[in-house]
Structure 1
Amino acid sequence: MVNAQPITLKDMVTYEKQSNFIKEFKIPLTERGLKGITTDTLGNAWFYHSTFNSSTIVRLEPIVMKFTQYSVPGKTVVDNAIINLAGGQLVFDNDSNVVWFTDARTNSIGKLDVKSGDIQLVSIPTPKAGPMGIVLSPDGKSVWFAEITGNRIANLDIQSNKIIEYPVIGSASSSNNNGILNNQDNGPTFLTFDSKGVLWVTLSYSSSVLRVEPWALVPNSSTMGMSPFTLAKSETFSPFGIAVVDYKAGSQQRMYVSDHGSSRIISTDAGPNLLLQSYLSYWTSPSQVYPTTLPGQIVADKLGKAIYFPEHGGNRIAKINVDSGQMTEYDIPTGPLSTALFTAISGDGKKVWFTEWASNKIAYLDTTIPVPLTIQVPGYYNINNNNNNNNTTMLLVLKRNAPKILDVVLKTDNNNKTALEASSPSTPQSLLLNEVGLSLVGMGESGIAGINYTAQPQRIDMEKNSTANSQIALQVENDENNSRIIRTGQYTIMVRATALENKDNNSLVSLLYPVQIMLDVPAPPINQQQPQQTYPNNISNNYQVPVNGFFDFTSLGGILRIFPLLVAIGLIAYIVYRRIERSRKTTQQHRPQER
């Protein structure tokens, strides 16, 4: 028997491709420690790098390819687990020409003066707070940040450098206190302001999103000015990144939340009466090596027309067009797991920057390069679509023995070329359009469950056609042998078109369009037990993961399959540890009184 070889970083980074859309930069630091990133008004990228012994802010001037490093002073005052958990984030303050950042290693908020290069640290009152997300207030007078292990949000007054903290609460449905609001270990992670001045915070540990009215907050109180929300359905939900945009001419707001324990983005109306009660799941394409794609931080452009996010386990950068509802995915050139989690968008919206932990690179998606292909599903639209059409059907209802047809329209625009392509008619476009593939993904973690489908045609030559039509026939599986239980309910399927880049024919660009369906099937008999198996994924594509046993520690696939479980165990252990610490402190405080 051959001894198993240990997994190394080399297994995560085995190739480096070329891309028409993404440009990567190797950083001048050898140790792994890349986390957050931001941009300034000159188009420079600023990113955070941290190890147990040091933390560094680095500026990249991409035009001249110059890196400048700024060492963060101060001793390490927390455990390595907190440093690894709390990803240091940055935000650029244009009014003061300052970069603000969270530094878990020193348990402080940092202020880097761009002109002088000086760094000033402001200590956070709560020890081992694990500062994570950071954002400027709308008036520019304060900086707000989340404490993922301190279970607080806080604001730092820029003029006085004074920090005020507010403990956060999770939703009653996510607590273990019989409906009592949970105020411990909620894991505030990222935060953002909407156009009305409301602050929104993701609570990763309590499956909640927190709505905060800053003007109503009371220091050290978690009951005033805060309202937690969670999904109406009893689903697993790990909120991470968040963005809120105005749409329908500013009359409504739309929220996008990444479900970091899953493969989807949640899209919902941001109104207090509708928040997370009716929502759309944007399912990403299945990962090549990871059981879930783990969507990360979310950023929106200034006009609120598009949101962007990295797929931590999917090794892609994705965009959702707020108006059309179409999602576009771009393969990251380095892989199979460059570990992209954090992102930022330039002020002009032309570059979406992100960091790659495993490959020690930073990179950007060039948003000015159009994808010369669009996908439409006439007759059906989703709750995220802004088009008002009274003749449009909201749901596609599927019943047994009653097949339904989805009409899919693909369109190309010969004018959608880069500047170089436009100047030379003989230059090929950014994508190879001679064999565009059509398929379905989504519906759940295990893919399309309980539905068979066929696409005619499944592959389309869009080089010869500016418009092409295809039909997808859907039918609910029969259960005559009772081998599967198909449950009635509302789901989201994603109609997907894929094309290869012309620069590297192993890199895909995928277009996905969400369609809501309703499975209307008879309920299974009460005495029928659900079989111990998952629904098969009926999609044949290039993303299938070989199964060699779940607890396989000898291969990259095995490690990646158990990684979410290991992370969950680690977080639970940390929470238990904190509760034991609190219990000990409480006991010590009460002992003198008991005597």
Structure 2
Amino acid sequence: MKTRKKGIIFFALVAGIMLASGITIAIPGKSSEDNDLEVFVAGDGYTDDERPQFCGTNDKAKSTDFVTEFKIPTACTQPLAITTEPNGTVWFAQTNTGNIAKFDPLTEKFTEYTNPRWVAAESQLKYKLRSMMWGMDYSPDGAIWYTDEATDSIWRFSIADETYNTINFPISEDISSLPQKLVIDGSNVIVNDFTGGKLTIFSYSQDSLSYASIPSALDGFTSDFAIDSENNIWYTNWNSDGTGILIKFNYKEWESQLSISSQADSLLLQDFIQFFQFPSGMTAPNGVSVGPNQNIWIVDTTSSYFFSFDPVTEEFTKYVTSVPTIDSYGNASGFIKSPISRPYWIEHSGDNLVMNEQTANRIGVFNPSTETLVEYTIPSRNPNWSDCEGIEYCGVAQVFDFAIDGKKIWFTEWVEN
């Protein structure tokens, strides 16, 4: 396998799951004695000392010539996963409330939908529940689907009925689970289990689901995924020591064979995958996307690198973002010698690729044809996540997700609300 650098044993479980509003939320183990009741009653669950770090330091939204922010009416919701409807309506999940909300770009108004089951669980347990809800997508039947890592669940919100339903995510007793990114593909809902080492494909039909879990080839993390024009699923499988592989899973052939055999556990993983060793410099590849010419694009969260992979030549090409500006990392201590941008997720839009540069506080737009990268600075900054002591305008807003709607890029700021 070639690498070109540039500066710039299968097991699956099939089961039926009914979508029912009466399913009990599985609460992660935590004792109410470990929490201050006054903090719970306050609403956001943070102490006065913690609040600036997690709830924001800017009372008002900011704007530049290219970026316009909108302040969420409810304080300290910690918005995370985000998606759009075909009509342009924006939806996002809230880590600190358990709710989802919508934003109308025409009226610039928010609507937040209380999750009664979340409220009931908090009331019963007397402590604040939080979840990093990383994945969200819109389905053509008028629903918003999203992941919930705290309760190992997948949620479905009916837009018409304004109701929440959950599906318990399949987990193993001896392996931790973290349902992360989520994509609607036809009648299927595909989710990667980041710590559980698998992809899970749910088939949705008439208020019921069946699912098959596809384990990764290596023990370790199973990160983001993307589907190419031939219905192959591309995803990364890696370990914390930086070793790992890019996997091509023949999704179409697997579905065909599954319909014939009706037993997923009779199929062998090696019959449906190809894998490619990571190139030098790729150690924590979170985001994956299929770009122009069906090349695979991957961003590395422990560096400033992003990569392309040509499936025909089996060649990786390494690119690098610009160096973060000092107002994103501060360096008040003087200890930071080589600041990095940490590109987190990547998506394809027309001729371009879009990525969020977490610690550079930027959204990057890369054109593969011209090999040019345009980076847009996010105006709000929270100094509590960087080396900013004594520096007035410094920090990051923690942009953990974004969605593309035509020529607009919508994103959430997790610590600036």
TM, length-normalised to structure 2: 0.70
Q: State whether residues 215 and 225 of structure 1, in contact with CA within 8 Å, keep that contact through their aligned partners in structure 2.
A: no
Distance in 2 (alpha carbons) for counterparts of 1:31 and 1:8: 10
Match of 1:279 in 2: 317
Q: CA deviation at 1:226?
A: 2.8
Contact 1:59/1:68 (8 A) holds in 2: yes
3-state SS, counterpart of residue 359 of structure 2? coil
Counterpart in 1 of 2:107?
64
Report whether the alignment pairs 1:355 with 2:400.
no
Q: Could you list the runs of 5+ residues in structure 2 that have no partner in the other structure?
A: 1-48, 259-263, 330-338, 382-394
Q: Which residue of 1 aligns with 2:189?
A: 143
Structure 2 Cα separation of the partners of residues 55 and 120 of structure 1:
13
The aligned residue for residue 45 of structure 1 is: 90
Which residue, out of 204, 212, 218, partners 2:249?
212
8 Å CA contact 1:268–1:280 kept in 2: the answer is no
Alignment partner of 1:230 out of 277, 284, 287: 277
Shift in alpha-carbon separation, 1:115–1:204, aligned structure 2, 3 A:
farther
Question: Match of 1:129, as an amino acid?
Answer: S
Q: What's the secondary structure of 2:70's corresponding residue?
A: strand
Q: CA 1:125 to 1:231, structure 2 compared with 1: closer, same or farther past 3 Å?
A: closer
Task: Decide whether aligned partners of structure 1 residues 70 and 8 sit closer, same or farther in structure 2, where only a CA change above 3 A counts.
Answer: closer
**Residue of structure 1 aligned with 2:341, choices 288, 293, 308:** 293
Give the counterpart letter for 1:63 in structure 2.
L
1:174 is matched with which residue? none
Question: Per-residue CA shift, 1:362-409, capped at 9, x if unaligned?
Answer: xxxxxxxxxxxxxxxxxxxxxxxxxxxxxxxxxxxxxxxxxxxxxxxx
Query: Is 1:168 aligned with 2:216?
Result: yes
Question: Aligned in 2, Cα 1:70/1:188: closer, same or farther, shift over 3 Å?
Answer: farther
CA distance in structure 2 between the aligned counterparts of 1:260 and 1:229, rounded to whole angstroms = 19
CA RMSD of aligned residues (A): 2.8
Q: What is the SS of the residue equivalent to 1:313?
A: helix
TM-score (norm 1): 0.50
Mapped to 2, the partners of 1:111 and 1:16 lie a distance apart of 30
- Calculate percent identity across the aligned residue pairs: 23
Match of 1:332 among 368, 372, 378: 378
Higher relative CO (CA 8 A, sep ≥ 6), structure 1 or 2?
Answer: 2
> Is this contact kept in 2: 1:311–1:341, CA < 8 A?
no
Contact kept, 8 Å, 1:83 with 1:104, in 2: the verdict is no
Separation in 1 of the partners of 2:50 and 2:227?
44
From the superposition, tell whether residues 10 and 243 of structure 1 become closer, same or farther in structure 2 (CA, over 3 Å).
closer
Residues 287 and 293 in structure 1, CA contact (< 8 A), matched pair in contact too: no
Contact kept? 1:204, 1:240, Cα under 8 Å: no
- Which of 296, 299, 309 is 1:268 aligned to? 309
Q: How far, CA to CA, are the matches of 1:284 and 1:204 in structure 2?
A: 26
Deviation at 1:338, TM superposition (A): 0.6
Which structure is larger by alpha-carbon Rg, 1 or 2? 1
* Aligned match for 2:231, one of 183, 189, 197: 197
Contact 1:265–1:295 (8 Å) recurs in 2: yes
One-letter code aligned to 1:270: P
**Structure 1 counterpart of 2:403, from 337, 344, 355:** 344
Structure 1: distance between partners of 2:146 and 2:179: 9
Please give the alpha-carbon distance, in whole angstroms, between the structure 1 residues aligned to 2:321 and 2:348. 19
Q: Distance in 2 between matches of 1:243 and 1:270?
A: 13
CA distances 1:195-247 after superposition (whole Å, capped 9, x unpaired): 111111233535432211113447466444233323233x3521011111233
Amino acid at match of 2:82: I
Kept in 2, the 8 Å contact 1:298–1:343? The answer is: no
> Contact 1:83–1:130 (CA<8 Å) still a contact in 2?
no
Return the alpha-carbon distance in structure 1 between the equivalents of residues 311 and 74 of structure 2: 41
SS at match of 2:323: coil
Query: CA–CA distance in 1 between the matches of 2:74 and 2:223?
Result: 26
* Cα separation, 2, equivalents of 1:112 and 1:67: 17
Letter in 2 for 1:56: N
Alpha-carbon distance in 2 for matches of 1:31, 1:222: 44
Partner secondary structure for residue 212 of structure 1: strand
